[in-house]
């Protein structure tokens, strides 16, 4: 049996909507389906303003510009994340301050965040790892006390909640991903949530997204011509991608239920190994409702993780590790970081193994993965 790591889910309406998009005669950004997706996300997330972007990376770049980050500023984020969390900070000339992660949730350690705040700290970029929420009340209290902005990297967390509030809508900004490995996809794509009720904040985001021009106001008939008014870039995705995504979002409940079933089957099937102290399974705090983006296991050692990964591959199962901690990467070393500074992050980076996880995964495939893991680890 072959069990790939990921297969993008399709609902059956993607091509229908793409064809309709083509027939409208407008396939560039901010067409019919871009507007439908923006509105759908705003209504279902109870968000102030959502703008579709070309990627979550670009949404994070927009947030960094919106925050006015500049040389001399410091921004705290976890080292256990994708490079897209850190790059937007560096692109603005600001300094990345890497924080440790919590060993239970793998999210940013708020005690370490507080230790690393200085008078130069301008923002915190928390990451909701695997769709599991950070403790947002505590994080926002820290931010408010120190007059610091918050941008939630919710790339993996669309429709996850913290105390019944959707992730990405709690901080000053939230950023989402629709990459093919995420729950809801369009190949490449993202979105930014502007959570301030200030109309000027929304207007500024539209200008940044439209190459620094006020073209969005022009299209709404608010100005008779548009012009270059600020810095920005081309962050609009094709309306054809939005058409694909709209079909995905329409099926969000079905996709959620399928992923929840897979997650729970993994958990129940592998709990015996956790009870024996051989592996550790994911932890979802009571304050969080997960979107079941990922199922991972934490092994006893890097040696055990690599042994398991190699032997699962031999059985036709693609299980993969995740982030190499950013502070130990070449760029992190150039910034002055070195191995040993964030021991929990480094331990997780060496022992975490992600199992195949997608909406079309069958019970038979999940059971095949479980039985192979048990056979390998119970020897």
- Please give the residue range of the domain that contains residue 81: 14-250
Q: Indicate which CATH number applies to the domain containing 127.
A: 3.40.640.10
**Tokens representing residue 254 in the block:** 């079905």
HSE-up of residue 254 (Cα within 13 Å, Cβ side): 10
Provide the 3-class DSSP secondary structure of residue 170: coil
pLDDT tens per residue, range 135-169: 999 999 999 999 999 999 999 999 999 999 999 99
Q: What pLDDT score does 243 carry?
A: 98
Return the axis-axis angle of helices 343-351 and 302-314, rounded to nearest 10°.
20
Which uninterrupted H or E stretch holds 246? helix 239-250
Cα 201 from Cα 86, distance rounded (Å): 23
Which uninterrupted H or E stretch holds 53? strand 49-53
Pairing of strands 149-153, 173-177: parallel
Q: Are residues 145 and 93 in the same domain?
A: yes
Q: Indicate which CATH number applies to the domain containing 340.
A: 3.90.1150.10
Q: What pLDDT score does 219 carry?
A: 83
Mean pLDDT of 277-305: 98
Phi first, then psi, for residue 284 (nearest 5°) are -115, 110
Q: Please indicate, yes or no, if residue 364 is contained in any of the structural domains.
A: yes
pLDDT tens per residue, range 221-261: 898 889 999 999 999 999 999 999 999 999 999 999 999 99
Cα 106 from Cα 289, distance rounded (Å): 16
Q: Are residues 166 and 182 in the same domain?
A: yes
Mean pLDDT of 115-131: 98
Cα 67 from Cα 61, distance rounded (Å): 10
Q: Are residues 243 and 308 in the same domain?
A: no
From 250, 272, 292, the end of a domain falls on 250
What's this model's pTM, rounded to 2 decimal places? 0.97
Cα 121 from Cα 74, distance rounded (Å): 4
DSSP-derived secondary structure letter, 265: H
CB atoms within 10 A of CB 340: 9
């Amino acid at each position: 049996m072959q069990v790939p790591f990921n297969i993008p889910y399709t609902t059956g309406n993607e091509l229908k909507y793409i064809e309709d998009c083509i027939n409208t005669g407008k396939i560039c950004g901010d067409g019919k389906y871009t507007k439908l997706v923006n509105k759908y996300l705003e209504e279902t997330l109870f968000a102030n303003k959502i703008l579709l972007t070309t990627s979550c990376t670009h949404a994070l770049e927009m947030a960094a510009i919106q925050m006015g980050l500049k040389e001399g500023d410091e921004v705290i984020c976890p080292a256990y994340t994708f490079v897209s969390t850190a790059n937007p900070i560096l692109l603005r000339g600001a300094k990345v301050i890497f924080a440790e992660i919590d060993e239970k949730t793998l999210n940013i350690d708020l005690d370490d965040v507080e230790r690393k705040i200085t008078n130069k700290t301008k923002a915190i970029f928390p990451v909701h790892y695997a769709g599991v929420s950070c403790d947002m009340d505590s994080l926002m209290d820290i931010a408010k006390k120190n007059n610091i902005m918050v941008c939630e990297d919710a790339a993996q967390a669309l429709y996850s909640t913290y105390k019944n509030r959707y992730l990405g809508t709690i901080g000053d900004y939230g950023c989402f991903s629709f990459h093919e490995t995420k729950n809801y996809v369009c190949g490449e794509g993202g979105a930014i949530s502007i959570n301030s009720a200030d109309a000027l904040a929304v207007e500024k985001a539209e200008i940044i997204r439209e190459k620094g021009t006020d073209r969005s106001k022009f299209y709404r008939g608010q100005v008779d011509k548009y012009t270059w008014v600020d810095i920005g870039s081309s962050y609009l995705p094709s309306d054809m991608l939005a058409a694909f995504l709209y079909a995905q979002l329409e099926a969000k409940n079905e996709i959620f239920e399928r992923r929840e079933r897979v997650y729970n089957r993994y958990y129940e099937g592998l709990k015996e190994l956790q009870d024996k102290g051989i592996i550790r399974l994911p932890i979802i705090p009571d304050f969080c409702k997960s979107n079941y983006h990922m199922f991972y296991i934490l092994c006893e050692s890097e040696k055990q993780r690599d042994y398991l990964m190699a032997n699962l591959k031999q059985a036709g199962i693609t299980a993969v590790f995740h982030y190499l901690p950013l502070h130990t990467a070449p760029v992190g070393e150039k910034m002055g970081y070195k191995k040993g500074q964030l021991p929990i992050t480094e331990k997780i980076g060496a022992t975490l193994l992600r199992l195949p996880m997608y909406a079309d995964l069958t019970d038979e495939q999940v059971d095949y993965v479980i039985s192979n893991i048990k056979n390998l680890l119970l020897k």
